[in-house]
Amino acid sequence: MRYFAMIEGERRGPFELQELAGAGVRPDTYVWCKTMADWQKAREVAEICRYYRRHLAGADLPATAQEHEQSGGSDSDAFSGVPLQFRRIVEKSGLTPGAPVDDEPDTSVPPRTYLGVAIAITLLCFPITGLIAIYFAVMTRRLWAEGCTDRDDAEDYRRMAHDYSRQTKMWIGISFFLGMILYAFLGFKT
C-alpha cells in the first residue's frame, strides 16, 4: 500500500509503508491512501500502527541478541529463559535467573519483637490489625524463650520466632496503611 503524507503543510509521497518513518511521518501526521475516504492521523491507521509496533519491537531485539552473543552468552546458559530484550538488564543486576534466594534467618541471634511499635500502631492507627501485630510480637518472645531451652526441637522454635517477627512487621505495616486510609477518609468527610 502506498501512502501520501502531509509534511510541513504540503502533500508528499507516495511512500511505501517502510518509507514513512524516513520521510518524517509521526503519529500526528496526516496520511492518506486509495482505500481511505479522508485523511487520517497516522496513529489512527491500523496498518501503520501495526508496522511501527513491529518495527520498534524488532529494532531492539537483534541488537540485544548481538550484545548477548558478544558477551559470551549462549541460549543454553542460565539466561536462556529470559526474553532477549531483558537479558542485558538481568546480566547487569548480577543475579542468576533461577538461583535460589537464601532467606534463612540467623537463628543464633534473637529476632526483634517490635512489641513497642505494635502497641503504638494499635493505639494510633488501626486497632483491629494492630492487635494481630501485638499477638505476633508476644509470640515471637515466647517462641524465642522456648528455643533457648535444652529441647531437641529448640532450633525449630528459634526459626518460628524469626518467622513470627516477620509476621509482626507485616501486620504493623498493614495496620499503619489501613490507619492512614481511615484518617484520609475521615478527613475528607469533615
CB atoms within 10 A of CB 187: 8
Q: Which of 21-25, 68-72, 98-102 has the highest mean pLDDT?
A: 21-25
Q: At residue 174, what is the residue type? A: I
The full DSSP string for 22-36 is HHT--TTSEEE-TT-
Could you tell me the sign of the dihedral formed by the alpha carbons of 69, 71, 72, 73, in that order? negative
Average pLDDT over all residues of the chain: 82
**Do 168 and 118 form a contact (C-beta atoms < 8 A)?**
yes
Nearest of 168, 74, 176, 60 to residue 125 by alpha carbon: 176
Residue 186 pLDDT exceeds 50 = yes
Q: How far apart are CA 105 and CA 109, in angstroms?
A: 9
Q: Which residue would you say has higher pLDDT here, 37 or 83?
A: 37
Residue 129 vs residues 120, 137, 161: alpha-carbon distances, Å: 12, 13, 20
Where exactly are the structural domains of the chain?
2-93, 115-189
Q: What is the DSSP letter of 149?
A: S
- pLDDT 10s digits, 141-172: 999 999 888 888 888 999 999 999 999 999 99
Above pLDDT 70, what percent of the chain?
80
Q: How far apart are CA 26 and CA 7, in angstroms?
A: 9
**Do 167 and 113 form a contact (C-beta atoms < 8 A)?**
no
Q: How far apart are CA 86 and CA 61, in angstroms?
A: 10
**Do 30 and 5 form a contact (C-beta atoms < 8 A)?**
yes
- pLDDT 10s digits, 82-130: 666 677 777 777 777 766 656 778 888 999 999 999 999 999 999 999 9
Question: What does the pLDDT average to over 4-33?
Answer: 87
